[in-house]
Amino acid sequence: MIGLVGGSDLPNPPLAAALSGARSAPATPVTPATPVVLDPAPTEETPGHECGVFAVYAPAQPVSHLTYLGLYALQHRGQESAGMAVSDGHTITVVKDMGLVSNVFDDKTLAALTGHLAIGHSRYSTTGSSTWRNAQPFYRNVGDHSFALAHNGNLVNTEELADEAGMLPGMVTSDSDLVAELVARELAEEPEASHDGRALERALVKVLPRLKGAFSFVIMDEGHVIGVRDPHGFWPLCLGKSEHGWVLASETPALDIVGAHFVREIEPGEVLVIDATGHRSVRPFDERAVEPKLCLFEFVYFSRPDGRLYGQNVHQARVRMGELLADQFPVDADMVMGVPESGIPAAEGYARRSGIPQGQGLVKNRYIGRTFIAPNQEMRALGVRMKLNPLRENIAGKRLVVVDDSIVRGTTTRAMVSMLREAGAREVHMRISSPPYKWPCYYGMDTGTRGELLAANLEIDEIRDYLGVDTLAYLTLDRLKVATGAAGAGFCDACLTGNYPVEVPVSLSKAVLEKSGCMPARDAGSTLTLVFDEAAALPADAARQGPSRGRSNE
């Protein structure tokens, strides 16, 4: 069995030919040349994405092309690297590289990746740096067994698992790599005679219950595709059926794009095995640990608006958030405008419910999507202008209701409000379709330290003053859950409440706990309390020093 990563030493002639051009994968990590990366994408005011995973089992179909399309539909979930593994029943071939799906794969590469099952991944890094080494899928070859694994989520017991397994520093470089190694070690213990095709399944049943945290996996060996969702189901994973086979995907639009129809969500704690006989479920977790806690921000921001979660359309849920926001925090104004693209659906709901006309106040550059290296920190301010520019003719002299889905660090929102003022806005009333984002996410979202979160140590009137808006209001948590249309279905809301469904250990091996001056200290139950280093509170400092423009506090 052959595991192939990178663009050299290629044992597969067609693939070697395909990869021999400029798109050959680098064999060494990529390091930025200068320390400041100006990212004009809207990452400061909304939490970053996690990862996208996709898998297909479809005999006689172009599974690499289908996986490409699926990953393309999931590109918003991670843009750092992309990869796929394809099996023809005998050989697993893996291609992965840094960059967007369209950068990593071209027609020649895809044509050479032949087989009837595949998994794919688009990455946003959490544990483990953004390097080629950590791009996914991960591949292992153990004796007669080989497999590939792709992960959406983040484990909170990575260090503990690595210690238990006696792994030396550098042996694995991310939580996903660690899981692949643990599975490989279980496979190595398989008796030689047990060639019943279920070795990977047995290894997973042993390894998965040891994992703590968030994980939606797609895994494959030469003849099986396996989907796994952790007992809380933090991140979505759904099953689709096409005329020719089965599909697994992080979001339902990835089913649509390959012509598959939605069958159901993989249940929290479920392991779904797909092979030539169809599919079957295995449930390796203690059933007492199974408690649905879907990330609430999938509804607020992460998921595509054309997707479905808990049986609800995401766009409609966001419109309802805006309606409830208008009910809860009305204001006299001339125009409702959403911050592109994240605030548009909730602005639609706010306008509909309030009766205030909806208009466009900001133009988003359609062609932004890549980062570039900026010479200094001051260049960051220009990043806001690069992605958003005010529509002066629509704004001047108007009292605006500006709707967005969340505020994480606040720097972009502050710059945007300043632009609206400069363009002649008479009043700016900020409305946010989720509660204040106060706590770091440890389950697959890199939101930075608590000191970087604007709402962590500021009251709403202080945030209002920092942003320079006339009024500021956030949708309450109960209304947000009602707006999803699935209030009782079970959600993680830890970044809003500090109630972490899976306890975050003090020894969590994330740089966020080492660099920020934040030391975790546990109080009751599973709630994590972070002892905050005031010196790191840059937004708070700025807010307390800056002039107050606010006139009311809602």
Nearer to ligand SF4, 348 or 452 (CB): 452
Amino acid, single-letter form, for residue 225 = V
Q: Quick check: bond before 40 cis, omega within 30?
A: no
Smallest distance from the beta carbon of 290 to ligand SF4, in angstroms?
17
Q: Tell me if 441 contacts ligand SF4 by CB under 6 A.
A: yes
What stretch of H or E contains 182?
helix 175-188
Amino acid, single-letter form, for residue 553 = N
Select from 11-19, 215-223, 384-392, 441-449 the region that touches ligand SF4 (CB under 6 A).
441-449
Smallest distance from the beta carbon of 298 to ligand SF4, in angstroms?
7
Q: Tell me if 25 contacts ligand SF4 by CB under 6 A.
A: no
Pattern 350-389, binding to ligand SF4, x per CB under 6 A?
Answer: ----------------------------------------
Q: Tell me if 310 contacts ligand SF4 by CB under 6 A.
A: no
Smallest distance from the beta carbon of 528 to ligand SF4, in angstroms?
11
Smallest distance from the beta carbon of 522 to ligand SF4, in angstroms?
17
Measured N-to-C along each axis, helices 411-422 and 379-387 cross at an angle, to the nearest 10 degrees, of 70
Q: Tell me if 466 contacts ligand SF4 by CB under 6 A.
A: no
Tokens 């204001």 map to which residue? 331
Measured N-to-C along each axis, helices 199-207 and 175-188 cross at an angle, to the nearest 10 degrees, of 120
Q: Tell me if 272 contacts ligand SF4 by CB under 6 A.
A: no
Smallest distance from the beta carbon of 294 to ligand SF4, in angstroms?
8
Smallest distance from the beta carbon of 546 to ligand SF4, in angstroms?
28
Q: Tell me if 239 contacts ligand SF4 by CB under 6 A.
A: no
Q: Tell me if 480 contacts ligand SF4 by CB under 6 A.
A: no
Select from 265-273, 293-301, 321-329, 503-511 the region that touches ligand SF4 (CB under 6 A).
293-301
34 burial level (CB within 10 Å; 0-12, 13-18, 19+):
exposed
Q: Give alpha helix (H) positions in 279-436.
A: 297, 314-328, 344-354, 379-387, 392-395, 411-422
How far apart are alpha carbons 135 and 176 in whole angstroms? 10
Nearer to ligand SF4, 221 or 493 (CB): 493
Site for ligand SF4 in 28-47 (CB under 6 A): 47
How big is the site for ligand SF4, counted in residues (CB under 6 A)? 12
Q: Is the dihedral of CA 192, 175, 83, 293 positive or negative?
A: positive
Q: Which of 443, 466, 474, 532 binds ligand SF4 (CB under 6 A)?
A: 443
Q: Tell me if 54 contacts ligand SF4 by CB under 6 A.
A: no
Site for ligand SF4 in 483-502 (CB under 6 A): 492-495
**Is residue 406 a contact partner of residue 437, using CB atoms and an 8 Å limit?**
yes
In three-state secondary structure terms, 530 is strand
Site for ligand SF4 in 74-133 (CB under 6 A): none
1 to each of 85, 140, 269, 477, how far by Cα in Å?
13, 10, 30, 51
Q: Tell me if 251 contacts ligand SF4 by CB under 6 A.
A: no
Nearer to ligand SF4, 7 or 233 (CB): 233
Smallest distance from the beta carbon of 344 to ligand SF4, in angstroms?
21
Strands (E), 261-387: 261-265, 271-275, 278-282, 294-295, 308-309, 312-313, 335-338, 362-364, 372-373
How far apart are alpha carbons 438 and 456 in whole angstroms? 4
Q: Alpha carbon 258 to chain centroid distance?
A: 21
Number of H helices, E strands in the chain: 19, 27
Smallest distance from the beta carbon of 307 to ligand SF4, in angstroms?
16
In three-state secondary structure terms, 146 is strand
Q: Quick check: bond before 270 cis, omega within 30?
A: no
Residue 501 in tokens: 């469904």
Q: Which of 68, 72, 138, 234 binds ligand SF4 (CB under 6 A)?
A: 234
Select from 289-297, 342-350, 423-431, 461-469 the region that touches ligand SF4 (CB under 6 A).
289-297
**Is residue 21 a contact partner of residue 108, using CB atoms and an 8 Å limit?**
yes
User: Active-site residue 51, yes or no?
Assistant: yes
Nearer to ligand SF4, 501 or 550 (CB): 501
Residues that bind ligand SF4 (CB under 6 A): 47, 234, 295-297, 441, 443, 445, 492-495
The catalytic residue positions are 51
